[in-house]
Chain A
Amino acid sequence: MYGLVALGYHITWATSRTMNFSQGHAVMVGAVVAYAVFVALGWPFPLALVVTLVALAGFGALVERVAVRPFFLRASPAWLLATIAVGIIAENVAQLTFGKDARAFPSPLMRKPIILGSAGFYPQELLVPVVGLLLMGLVQLFYHRTAYGKQLKAVAWNPEAAGLMGINIPRAVMASYALSALLAGVAGVLLAPLLNVSPQMGTIIGLKAFAVAIIGGLTSAPGIVLAGLGYGLVESFTAGYVSTRAREIVGFGLVILVLVVRPWGLLGEKPSRRV
């Protein structure tokens, strides 16, 4: 699950060496939009899903246009802060329109828990990793098998050469942002029934996903998937045996530890410096 959101960081990083620090807020927007369309307006779920995904792709493109493109070439923390700013604004807008309180998101998969021995879980909890892994597989296929995916990779490798080959770089970067937000939106819809929907839900999800992306290595999609699974396991163990709060302390401590030992993430490549 974290892996899915974290993959969004990887996608934009891979094309543009920038990323949306408000990826978590995209998750929140996904959940809120889905709630508005599905629960409040009562549209059928498939339609609601489509609307959500389109809205999220638009959100991603907007973030790129407003907060990333103006600073793409400036080597500064500008895009980092600009995307945080967009996230802050999105959260506030959601608060104003949606209200501050968390609301439950109904799902047929949340009615009856499956009991396995002493542990019980909802089918929804099973759905999250399954859909997550499926989507990650699709993203990999997209990158390795389709012409457009290869173009995006080319941009990541050498923007100038890719530009000379006729690839529209701004559009490629925008597409990667849209795709990344789309994944976050799916995560938002999947998580909504589990976590309840609230404007504040984005921050912590975004941070944890970011931690996962960093642990796995921003340049490595498989690394991120593995790190996502590992992080989830460590979290539930700490939550089970120590306390819920300790969960975050241990989780983020792990990030620092990993980076001290392997500064570019578990499977990430060390960037070579150009002289």
Chain B
Amino acid sequence: MTGRLGWAALATAAAVIPFFTSNTYYLYVVISVGLLTIVTAGLNVLVGFTGQTSLGHAGLYAFGAYTAALCVTRAGTSEWIAIAVAVVITSMVGAAVAAAALRVSGPYLAMVTIAFGLIVEGVVIEWGSVTGGPGGIFNIPKPGLRTHYWTVMLAAALALWLTANLRRSAWGRACLAVKSSEVAAESLGLSAYYVRIAAFTVSAAFAGAAGALFTFLNGYISPDSFTLQTSILFLLALLFGGLGRIAGPVAGSVALTILPELLTRLLDYRLILYGSLLLLSIYWLPDGVVGAVSRARRSRPAPLELSLSPLGRGQGEGAGTLLVANGVNLSFGGVAALAGVALTVNRHHIHAVIGPNGAGKTSLLNVLSGFYALQAGTIMVDGRSIDGLSPYAIARHGIARTFQTAQVFGGLSVRDNVAVGVAGPRLGSPLSALFATPGGRARDAFIQSRALDLLEAFGLGELAHEPAESLAAGLRRKLEIARALATEPLLLMLDEPAAGLSPAEIAALDAQLTGLRDQGGPTVILVEHHMDLVMAVSDRITVLDYGRVIAEGAPEEIRQNPAVIEAYLGATT
């Protein structure tokens, strides 16, 4: 509620300013704040939601500005068409840059974006016949300052509204999931690469729009406005305001536009000021001004009135085998982790994989789910080969998994964690997420209600709106299983789900697993050390030792098997 009041106050302030002052200087400053807000709102989608850093957004900003300027001066279009063209072109450029840049991450990504920005700057200066060279483009027809004020304010409001919508949608959750744990996101069928490209493209569109509006502010543009320093300023404003917060861009833009204006006398010290501000905000305000001021507001539960056709798949046809793996080999630098492992798992079975530490159990799961590339052998699931597929593609074949150390998505609520699983790769159109179309909202309500149902079934309903990172270890495991089941998998692979659980929790897990099987749930591969649990729930057991299968059979047979006893207890008799 306080949040709404804050937004209303902000909107009112922006709306009344022109009536109180005729001083064009103030209007100019507020317009600059608006432009910076638009760029940083877009950057927030990329950096704040998705966790990728760009130091080249000045290049995209330049693309928007020059496209708009050329449309008006050369093609003689109207301002509005010029802005639209600028947004479209910049988005396309952004998508292309992203496709190349996002194959890498960390400092490599920073380099690609820096390089992009410098290339744009260089081309703009060099290609004088089109861009006017170092002097830039003059005499661009521009609207009156007051008119432009309204345009920019509305655009900034639109930008914030769009990012708020995006944050609440399946796309927003997917972005945060990828940022928090790429591995877990891929295990739910999300392609991290694809999600990041989408985020980069959205942020490019915002930068393009702001660039175009910048063109019509001054009536001239020159390369000086689009340097690496500009890119750093964008990032600084976002960081200072609050990464990942919807209001962050506003706070950061206001601070970074107005501060230098107040301190014009200290021009010589401006860089020191910027640098210190940047350092201080990273030190003490990891969530920015907005994060420091506001307690995280809890999101309201979504309305549950709609039901769409189910998103899920069935459990495939009938009985028989679901997974057949043969001759699976995996070695790390000459050390064989898996040597010719064969595994056949029947439908609707709980199939345990056990073995001493280092036997290759987790490696086997990682191969089956695509996180380690298969070096030799074949894997068929539901009659289809999954050799060489990436983790998200395998997940889309209906294979879900959990991890030895539970990988919940921090930064998302418990419900949103499960919602990422429910949606899986079905994110819908990014545009419908941005504009919160009725169809998009209906989808989302459906996804959320599904997520809540699952949480109820797992006894996590009460915690639905808690941040996932606040859960204790046992609950994290539960949440992870719920999230994996949310994808409606054919095969669920659990990596030591009982590790660190209390005896009571293990009993509950036992009941849950058998319950799942009896209700015709997914086939389960269970990697586990707790022999009581394994013996109680498993239909079949495969025993690994030193990367080889040493026994396979029903629990009773395994218990008696001399090779297994030897592997566990050492050569005794």
Contacts and interface: CB of A to CB of B under 8 A. Distances in A.
Interface residues of B, number: 45
A92 B269 contact: yes
Contacts of B366: 275
A19 B110 CA distance: 12
Contacts of A19: 107
B119 A84 contact: no
A71 B281 CA distance: 13
Interface in B90-126: 100-101, 103-104, 107-108, 110-112, 114-116, 118-119, 122-123, 125-126
Contacts of B556: none
Given A81-B282, A259-B104, A211 B111 contact: yes
Given A210-B111, A273-B371, A259 B100 contact: yes
A252 B228 contact: no
A205 B417 CA distance: 45
B140 interface: no
Contacts of A66: 279
A207 B114 contact: yes
A214 B108 contact: yes
B271 A92 contact: yes
A95 B362 CA distance: 57
B278 A249 contact: no
B282 A245 contact: no
A85 B276 contact: yes
Interface string A77-116: 1101110111111011101100000000000000000000
Given A19-B107, A81-B278, A248-B122, A256 B116 contact: yes
A255 interface: yes
B118 A252 contact: yes
B327 to A, nearest CB: 22
Interface residues of A, number: 47
17 contacts: A77-B110, A82-B282, A92-B269, A207-B114, A210-B107, A218-B108, A249-B118, A249-B119, A249-B122, A252-B115, A256-B119, A259-B101, A260-B103, A263-B104, A264-B108, A275-B362, A275-B366
Q: Report, nearest first, the 4 A-B pairs whose CB atoms are least far apart.
A: A92-B271, A89-B275, A252-B115, A88-B275
Interface of A: 13, 19, 21, 66-67, 70-71, 74, 76-78, 80-82, 84-89, 91-93, 95-96, 203, 207, 210-211, 214, 218, 243, 245-246, 248-249, 252-253, 255-256, 259-260, 263-265, 273, 275
Interface of B: 47, 51, 53, 100-101, 103-104, 107-108, 110-112, 114-116, 118-119, 122-123, 125-126, 183, 228, 232, 235-236, 239, 268-272, 274-276, 278-279, 282-283, 286, 362, 366, 371-372, 403
